[in-house]
Amino acid sequence: MSALSFADGSRKLVRGGTDMDDTARAWLDKFVDGRHLSDAALATAAARYAGRTPGWVALDGFLQARLSTVLGRFLARDVEFTTGLGTTTRYGYATAAEFAAASPEQRLFRYGRLEQVGARASRTPGLRAYAALSRAFSDDRMRAVFERICGQPLGRVTLSARRMGASDFLADHTDDIEGRALSWVIYLTPGWEPRFGGILELDGPGGRRAEIVPLHGRIVVFDARAWHRVTPLTEAAGDRARYTFGGWYLKPAPPPGATW
């Protein structure tokens, strides 16, 4: 075992230094398209991330194609979503009364959050795929991929599945809460077009703004401190919904006995 050094001076043991060993790559290949797992591809992704302020990178077709299809179908057909409401005046989800009483400027988000899995879902491959992928993102081997991309050590992951439809929105905010270090989101609605809206906007220096279309199978990885928002869906989207699976890698927990 050799050590991979990070910019903050910490070190993590990995087989072969910065190179991914064959066993880890074979396991990851069950979830991630292999073209994103080569050392050259990961180096390119890391360079793109590091070359932007704040750091971000979009990778098309990140998951195995069949897995993206199965997950998208699962979220669209087998999952029950409830409306999540948020305001700038309180942390967490707001009640309908609190949301109604808030001014338009205070309303932070409205979207569908996963409430429960439908009764028939246990008989579909979607639930098994969702559970397996959720476990995979908590695995050290998957975490190491994201550490390679962002160039910093990461801790545990928290996950979220969401649905955005007509009248839903996500206003200006950062994810820099609860120890979050790295944000990521995978888009799972087939056939999405820019004219449908639902664009992720990431703010950069000097008023520059990146606009990222939620193309099916695309993942966006970005610094949790980045200011961002999602544009509302347009009339052109019709009854389509924007399904996503994403989450946040937290900062590593301090070692036992640490005083910092």
- Separation CA 234–CA 154 (nearest Å): 36
Token code pair at residue 143: 């975490």
Domain 2-250 CATH superfamily: q2cbj1_9rhob like domain (2.60.120.620)
How high is the pLDDT of residue 19?
67
Burial of 159 (0-12, 13-18, 19+ CB in 10 A): middle
How high is the pLDDT of residue 124?
83
How high is the pLDDT of residue 117?
86
How high is the pLDDT of residue 254?
76
How high is the pLDDT of residue 20?
79
Token code pair at residue 155: 């801790």
- Separation CA 157–CA 139 (nearest Å): 9
The answer to whether the beta carbons of residues 217 and 187 sit under 8 Å apart is yes
Distances (CA, A) of 126 to 71, 115, 158, 184, 217: 6, 16, 20, 21, 16
DSSP one-letter code for 233: B
In sign, the C-alpha dihedral spanning 133, 138, 142, 145 is positive
Neighbours of 259 (CB within 10 A): 4
Token code pair at residue 206: 């000097």
- Separation CA 183–CA 259 (nearest Å): 27
How high is the pLDDT of residue 15?
32
Strand partners, 229: 201
* Per-position pLDDT tens, the chain of length 260: 233 333 444 434 343 345 678 999 999 999 999 999 999 999 999 999 999 999 999 999 999 999 999 999 999 999 999 999 999 998 899 999 999 999 999 999 999 999 988 777 777 899 999 999 999 999 999 999 999 999 999 999 999 999 999 999 999 999 999 999 999 999 999 999 999 999 999 999 999 999 999 999 999 999 999 999 999 999 999 999 999 999 999 999 876 665 54
- CB proximity list for 11: less than 8 A, separation 6 or greater: 3, 4, 5
